[in-house]
Amino acid sequence: MLISVCVSTYQRPEGLKRLLDGLNQLTFSKCETPNLEVIVVDNDSTGSASALCSVKEKNFNGVLKYSIEPTRGISNSRNKALACINKDTNFVAFIDDDEVPASSWLDELLFVQQKLDADVVTGPVFPHFTETDVPNWVLKGKFFEPTHFPTGHPLKVAFTNNVLIRFEILRQIHIMFDERFALSGGEDSHFFMRLSRAGYKIVWADTALVYEWIPQNRTKMKWILRRGYRCWSTQSLCERELYPSIMVLSIRACKGIGLISQGFCLLLPSLVLGQHAIVKALLHICRGTGTLAGLAGVRYQEYKVISGIQNDRKPSTSFRSGC
pLDDT in tens, the chain (323 residues): 999 999 999 999 999 999 999 999 999 999 999 999 999 999 999 999 999 999 999 999 999 999 999 999 999 999 999 999 999 999 999 999 999 999 999 999 999 999 999 999 999 999 999 988 999 999 999 999 998 999 999 999 999 999 999 999 998 887 799 988 887 788 999 999 999 999 999 999 999 999 999 999 999 999 999 999 999 999 999 999 898 889 988 999 999 999 999 999 999 999 999 999 999 999 999 999 999 999 998 877 766 544 333 333 333 333 334 46
Query: How do the residues of the chain divide into helix, strand and coil, expressed in percent and rounded to 5?
Result: 45, 15, 40
CA distance 151 to 30: 15
What distance lies between CA 166 and its chain's CA centroid? 17
Task: Identify the CA nearest to 279 among candidates 226, 231, 221.
Answer: 221
2-219, superfamily in CATH? Spore Coat Polysaccharide Biosynthesis Protein SpsA; Chain A (3.90.550.10)
> Where are the chain's structural domains?
2-219, 223-295
Selection from 18, 3, 167, 205 nearest residue 96 by Cα:
18
Q: What pLDDT score does 174 carry? A: 78
User: 0.85 exceeded by the pTM?
Assistant: yes
On the CB side of 143, CA atoms within 13 Å amount to 30
State the DSSP H helix or E strand holding residue 165, giving kind and residue range, or none if neither: strand 163-166
Q: What are phi and psi of 270, to 5 degrees?
A: -65, -25
